[in-house]
Amino acid sequence: MEDTVLVVNCGSSSLKLALFDGQHRKLASAVAERLNQNDAFARIAGDKDTIPLKPGTSHNAALEAMVSAFRDRQLITSVPAAIGHRVVHGGETFREAVLIDEGVISAIEACAGLAPLHNPVNLSGIRATLALFPGVPQAAVFDTAFHQTLPKHAFLYALPEAWYQHWGVRRYGFHGTSHAFMAAEAARLLARTPATTSVISAHLGNGCSVTAIRDGSSVDTSMGLTPLEGLVMGTRSGDVDPGLFDFLRSKGVAADEVHRVLNQESGLLGLSGQTNDMRSLCELADHGHEPSRTAIDVFCFRLARYIGAMMASLRHLDALVFTGGIGENSARVRQDTISHLHLMGFELSEDLNKHHGKFSDRRIDSAGSRFPVLVIPTNEELAIAREASRLAGAADPASPPPVTR
C-alpha cells in the first residue's frame, strides 16, 4: 500500500480522478467526458494522447481504463491508502463524510430519487473502486452534508408538512464541500478560526450557489431540493414561478419537457441563445451582442439579490467570498454584481479585482469598502482527499488539517 489518496468524482456524463500524495499534494488528474455516448473520451492532464474508450463507455468501464492508464504511467504503483468519493445527495441521513460500508451504500441508494442524475453514477464509481481496490478504506463526501446545519426556518418550504415528513421535500443545498472549504480558507486568510468566522460564499461555475456561513456553519443557501433552484447558472434557470408548468401545459408543453429545458437549455445558454460559457458571453457582449449582455446582467443581478438576502441569516459579516470558475476568473461578473450592492457598503478596487486578488492576499475590496471581498480558488478534490485521509487514519501528521465543518 502506498501513501496516496485517490479522489473519484462521477458526474452525470463525466468522471474525474485525482491522485494525491500523503501530504495532499496533487500528483496526477484525469477526466472522462461524454460517457454513455458514442464520442466518449478520457485524458490524463498534461498528456496529448487520449485514453482509449469504446463508444457508449460506462462510468465503471471509464474508471477501470483511467486507473489502468495511471498504472501504465507508474502514477499508481500499488494500492492507495484511501479513496474519497464525491456523492451529490445524502438527504438528511448524512451530516458529515463517512467511511463506506453496505449500510452507507444502501442509504445513498435510498437518496437516489432526490438526485436521479447523480447518485446512481456516484454509486457506480464506489462499486468500481471497491472491486478494483478491495480492502482499501473508502469515504463518501456529500455535497449536502455541510448544509445539514440549516435551521428549520431556512430549510422548510411553505408546503403541506406531510410532504416533508413523508417524502423529504425540503431545502438541502449543494456545493457543500466547496462552501466548507471557503469557510476554512477565508478564516485562515483573515487570521480567524472557522468557528468565529461568518462569510457569504458565492460558488460560481456551470452550477452556481451562494451560502451564508455563520460561525463556520451553513445557515442558508440558494439551492434547494435539487440543484435547479436559486441563481442563474450555465444551463439551469434557477428560480422560476412554479406556475410556469401550468402555463406551458396550456401551450402544449409537457411537464417533463419543461423540466428538461429548465435544466439543460436555460440559464446563460437560454438567455443568450449562444453559449453557457461566461468568457464567450463577455466577448460577444463586448462585440455588441445584446442577448449576451442581457444574460450577464440577469446573472449578476440575481446573484446580488441573493447576496443581499443572505445577510438576513448573519449577525455579522467577515467577508464576501467569490469562488468557482466564474467567481475566480471573471472580474466583470464580480464588478457588475458588487455594483448592485453599494447600499450595503461593498466596494471593489478596480486594480485588485482585475488581478483576481492574486497579489493582495486574495482581497479585492477597496479601502472604503464596509466588508472585505475575497477571491479564493476552490479545491473540492483536496477537501475530499483530506476527509478520506482523516477517516482512513492515513493522514500524514505534517499535512494540513482536514476541512473544518
- Contact (Cβ atoms closer than 8 angstroms) between residue 335 and residue 326: no
> Would you say 111 and 119 are in contact if contact means Cβ atoms under 8 Å apart?
yes
Amino acid identity, residue 30?
A
Q: Which of 299, 206, 257 is nearest to 14 (CA)?
A: 206
Q: Report the C-alpha gap between 142 and 159 in whole angstroms.
A: 26
Backbone angles phi, psi at 298, to 5 degrees: -65, -45
Alpha carbons within 13 angstroms on the beta-carbon side of residue 248 total: 15
Task: Point out the catalytic residue in the list 143, 220, 318, 365.
Answer: 143
Task: Specify the residue for cell string 498504472.
Answer: 71
Supply 132's cell numbers. Answer: 478494483
Instruction: Of 223, 219, 227, give the one whose Cα is nearest residue 210.
Output: 223
User: Under a CB-based contact definition with an 8 Å cutoff, are residues 60 and 124 in contact?
Assistant: yes
Greatest extent of the chain over all pairs of C-alpha atoms, in Å: 63
Residues 6+ apart with CB under 8 A from 14: 31, 32, 33, 34, 35
Whether 297 sits among the annotated catalytic residues: the reply is no
DSSP string, 305-353: HHHHHHGGG-S--SEEEEEHHHHHH-HHHHHHHHTT-GGGT--B-HHHH
Q: Which residues contact 395 (CB under 8 A, 6 or more apart)?
A: 22, 386, 389, 402
As annotated, the active-site residues are 143
